[in-house]
Amino acid sequence: MKIDIQKIESGEEEIIIRYLEETDRIRAVLDVLRSEGEKLYGRKDGETVSVIPGDILYIESVDDKLFAYTAKDVVRLDGTLAGIIQKLNDDRFFRCSKSMIINIDKVDSLRSLSSNRIDATMEGGEHILISRTYASEFRRILRGV
């Protein structure tokens, strides 16, 4: 892998990544760049903990409580789904139903279901249903349109 680093004296900073295949190494670099040091804070076992957005598989609202699910933890967040989407301001996160946001980068496979719904299998095997209200937008995002 060739690495080209240039210090500039003025102008806008820019990072360009060129790759043939999105490997685990490339994804790790992208996660660091995308998160830009931003973390979400929530509670787990009575303690305040931080969650790196790139580690989140999905965020779900249950009984007016918000939970972020990672491969290892479940963290209770403050706020609303709309507020979290706005705070994240990240194209990787997609509202897939009235009560859930998924991290598109953590989707392993997709399967079309009846009634225009989509079954998304996340890393770790969790199945998330993308409701028909959001399915056409999700397909548009995947096509890159």
Tens of pLDDT, residue by residue over 66-95, are 999 999 999 999 988 888 888 887 778 999
Domain count, the chain: 1
pLDDT band for 30, please (50, 70, 90 cuts).
confident
Q: Residue 33: inside a domain, yes or no?
A: no
Which pLDDT does position 35 carry in this prediction? 59
| Structure-token pair, residue 76 | 């209770």
Q: Is the pLDDT of residue 134 over 70?
A: yes
131 DSSP assignment: P
CATH of the domain at 100: 2.40.50.1020
Q: Which residues contact 95 (CB under 8 A, 6 or more apart)?
A: 81, 85, 101, 134
State yes or no: pLDDT of 37 exceeds 60. no
Cα 46 vs. chain centroid, distance in angstroms? Answer: 25
Residue 52, domain member (yes or no):
yes
Give domain status of residue 49, yes or no. Answer: yes
In this model, does residue 4 exceed pLDDT 70?
yes
Q: Number of C-alpha atoms within 13 angstroms, CB side, residue 91?
A: 6
Q: How high is the pLDDT of residue 52?
A: 87
Q: Which pLDDT score, from 0 to 100, does residue 44 have?
A: 94
Q: Which domain holds residue 55?
A: 38-143
